[in-house]
Structure 1
Amino acid sequence: MDKRLVPVYAAGFVTAFGAHSIAAGLGGYTEGEHASLLTLGLLLAVYDGAEIVLKPVFGALADRVGPRPVLLGGLVAFAVASTAFVLAGDPALVGLARLGQGAAAAAFSPAAGALVARLAPKTGHGRAFGGYGAWKGLGYTLGPALGGVLITLGGYALLFGTLGGLALAVAAWAAAAVPVVQPLPRTRQTVLDLVRRLATRGFLRPTATLAGATAAVAVGVGFLPVAGAAAGLGPLVTGVVVSLLAAAGALVQPWAGRARDADRIGDATGMVAGLVLAALGLASAVVLPGIAGLLAAAVAIGAGTGLATPIGFAHLAAATPPARLGQTMGVAEVGRELGDAGGPLFVGALAAAGSLGLGMAGLEGVLVVFAASVAFSARR
């Protein structure tokens, strides 16, 4: 493992751990503050909303000034937003704190992706993005459990204080270990040029893959517990199922990246196989009864997204001019965020109109369509 990339991976852990550790405890927060479910929804959405709006902006800034200062600035801003909540001592400011954290994550996430692509050799992009994804997966896995422990021990002040200290420590580590990566000369780009570049298969294929894979994970995390509860399973069992999904994705990503770099699996094959495997996982939750269906779904969704994600990012990096990596990563990350938000909304709407099985089947169909589109465009 390239030691220069480890603090960049740690930055990915910060954003994943920060997002899920707080989100998992917001239900208890709203209950304690006697807030409505609408308030809970807004508190959950504000982090992702800031990322959707700002990631392309900070990605373009990373191309202009270099990704390293944007990474460091984002981590410091994340620490400031977290620490400010602790110093304010007002629980009602949690929404404002999450907005600040989301804006900061919007800065260092695309910068981290650009650094992974710039610092790793092109023949090692799969392994590098697999490692980055594994660290993020670890943050998603540990976030709810450790966040709950911190909230139990010291309330939200301890959780936000821990996040602030963690972000500041990673920023110091990155400042010491990540080398300066100079911005590359860029030709002038009009809006039409940007649209044309983002309309190419080299951008659309991996971005659709990343959006679909992220949607599958979001639906698995949100709705597999619902299916488990309907089958009479308790929260402990369904919590284990969600953790298994995250762990499967974290374990598969490094393997998928190494297989891609060693030419054991092609980019199109990996993206298609990952989407199909995730779709089969959604089907398992509906077709197989009880705990067997949930376990099969968790493993298949996690493994499918773990296969598709590093290959999608590596393919995106290979198809992007090096001088535009930050901008491209920022826009692609918006696709992931839309999948993260749109997947549960899509399944929830279908479930409300019919049943949870109909919702799962609907997203399964979307993933199959994405997989077929990737396969067709690769043949062309």
Structure 2
Amino acid sequence: MNVRHDPDRAARPLAAVLLEAATSRLAFGLVSFALPLYAHHLGMSLAAIGLLLSTNAAVAVVLKPVMGALIDRVGVRRAHVVAVLLRTVVLVALVVATSPVHLFLARSLHGVSIAMRDPASATVLAALGGKQAVARRFAWFQTVKSVTSSGGQFLSGIVLTLATGDHRVVFAIAAVLSGLPLLVVLVGLRGALVDGLRLPQPARRTPMPRDLRRVLLPYAGLGAMMTGTAYLMSNLLPVLAVEHMGLAPAAASSLYLVKTVVGFTGPVWGWLSDRVGVRLVLGVRGLGNALSSIVWLLFPSLAGLMVGRALDDVGKAAFAPAWGATMAEVADLDPARRARTLAWLGSAENAGEMAGPVVAGAVWATFGLPALLVLRAALAVATELYALALARRAARRPSAPVGVSGSGEVGPAARLVAPTAVVDR
């Protein structure tokens, strides 16, 4: 067996990635609930808050392809270490922030850390442990992130209530949590298996192979559409619950307990993706987005918010493993460029994450909340139609499926589409 596909030898680096994800998402779960409320406290408009929440994604969109190339050359361990340090600096900066300008600067630096950390984590998940369980690895990764993030969001409301609205207390706790996984990364991401992810590189300025580019672009568009639809409401839910429905922060933060429970379904969706195929599982995401929008539109109450949140989180739990498996298969076309390929796909996701809150804030401020929810449902349906068209177009191609990797294993993404041929480098 190829050691890279040996689950026992891959256990330590995979565990390090999961533990780092858990602590970082717990920290930023605290921030994601408190930050829009603090921005509102500083007098920022809904449109400005939406722009603030998208700033880190905007920076990540620009930098991820560059960082992906850097990770291919220097390795995932160094990238993780730098990302943890930068992230902690961001949270310390939020503690002392007193103006919208400070918030935007901190959010921009967070984007730099995301651009380094995400491709490095995805590279470990995609390349180590075998192709037959790749969706399950991404499922556990997403489950850990989802559960700890929602736990942080719930705790944030409690801390804000106990601290009588002092947002700096929340940011200080998050800063301490963010620095904790540094030792985990230093110890866990080392050894021959991790070092082996850094392969001989093509000459600098060598263009991406045409076949890989032809595969990559349609998937990047799909990722952007899926995350953009999801983020039309996610980051603005605290504002909806607290400022427009009059709920106390502690009551509003109870929404994120739903995410904690639903997040545990992730491994089930990962198993289905590996065993049945990603096409079916990806369809659950669009259904969850559309139904949650309808529920929030028709039932503007705490109960309605919770039911809609549950439907939305089911879709997200299903999306993560299926999309992770698809990214891994595309990246396996050119292992020497694995981090770069994953970075491009991740950059497309961040583009959707960036556009979602901006569009949501503008539509809400201009046309009202009902128009935003109707738009979100319509975009969810349109995204699923695009995914179906992409799958049918790929199925008509006679060339070899991307799911056949260099190891001879057939990956789960081959059951969704067959995106052109293996790259000829």
TM bin (shorter chain): 0.7 to 0.9
Residue number in structure 1 paired with 2:38 = 29
What is the TM-score normalised by the length of structure 2?
A: 0.74
Question: Secondary structure, in 3 states, of the residue corresponding to 2:118?
Answer: helix
Q: Find out whether 1:377 has 2:393 as its counterpart.
A: yes
Residue number in structure 2 paired with 1:204 = 218
CA shift in 2, pair 1:85/1:157, >3 Å: same
> How much does 1:360 deviate?
3.1
> What is the alpha-carbon root mean square deviation over aligned residues?
3.6
| From 96, 111, 120, the counterpart of 2:120 | 111
| From 198, 215, 235, the counterpart of 2:228 | 215
Q: Deviations over 1:14-35 (max 9, x none)?
A: 4434444224223443455455
Q: Find out whether 1:297 has 2:346 as its counterpart.
A: no
CA shift in 2, pair 1:158/1:295, >3 Å: closer
CA contact (8 A) 2:147 2:261 kept: no
Q: Which of 224-233 and 121-130 deviates more? A: 224-233
Q: Find out whether 1:80 has 2:96 as its counterpart.
A: no
Task: Give the residue type in structure 2 aligned to 1:314.
Answer: A
Residue number in structure 1 paired with 2:279 = 268
| From 57, 61, 66, the counterpart of 2:66 | 57
Task: Give the residue type in structure 1 aligned to 2:355.
Answer: G
Superposition pairs of residues 119-268 of structure 1, within 5 angstroms: 119-150=128-159, 152-153=162-163, 155-180=166-191, 181-182=194-195, 183-188=198-203, 192-193=207-208, 196-200=211-215, 204-205=218-219, 207-222=220-235, 234=247, 239-241=253-255, 243-244=257-258, 246-247=259-260, 250-261=263-274, 263=275, 265-268=276-279
Q: Which of 276-285 and 33-42 deviates more? A: 33-42
Distance (Å, rounded) in 2 between the aligned partners of 1:132 and 1:184:
24
Distance (Å, rounded) in 1 between the aligned partners of 2:288 and 2:46:
34
Q: Percent identity?
A: 22
CA contact (8 A) 2:31 2:174 kept: no
Q: Which of 127-136 and 21-30 deviates more? A: 21-30
CA shift in 2, pair 1:278/1:208, >3 Å: farther
> How much does 1:54 deviate?
1.8
Residue number in structure 1 paired with 2:109 = 100
> How much does 1:305 deviate?
2.0
> How much does 1:71 deviate?
0.9
- Structure (1 or 2) with the greater helix fraction: 1
CA contact (8 A) 1:283 1:360 kept: no
CA shift in 2, pair 1:364/1:226, >3 Å: farther
| From 45, 49, 54, the counterpart of 1:45 | 54
Distance (Å, rounded) in 1 between the aligned partners of 2:43 and 2:243:
27
Q: Deviations over 1:208-232 (max 9, x none)?
A: 4543443343234256678879997
Task: Give the residue type in structure 2 aligned to 1:96.
Answer: L
CA contact (8 A) 2:18 2:144 kept: yes
> How much does 1:169 deviate?
1.9
| From 6, 12, 15, the counterpart of 2:21 | 12
Distance (Å, rounded) in 1 between the aligned partners of 2:70 and 2:223:
23
Distance (Å, rounded) in 1 between the aligned partners of 2:223 and 2:323:
6
Structure 1 runs not aligned, ≥5 long: none
Residue number in structure 2 paired with 1:307 = 318
> How much does 1:371 deviate?
3.2
> How much does 1:311 deviate?
1.2
CA shift in 2, pair 1:310/1:155, >3 Å: same
Q: Deviations over 1:116-149 (max 9, x none)?
A: 1222222221111111111221243123232344
Question: Secondary structure, in 3 states, of the residue corresponding to 2:180?
Answer: helix
Q: Which of 4-13 and 149-158 deviates more? A: 149-158
CA shift in 2, pair 1:156/1:285, >3 Å: closer
Structure 2 runs not aligned, ≥5 long: 1-6, 397-425
What is the TM-score normalised by the length of structure 1?
A: 0.82
Q: Deviations over 1:44-76 (max 9, x none)?
A: 333222222222221221111111111111112
Distance (Å, rounded) in 2 between the aligned partners of 1:26 and 1:305:
22
Q: Find out whether 1:322 has 2:321 as its counterpart.
A: no
Q: Which of 89-98 and 165-174 deviates more? A: 89-98
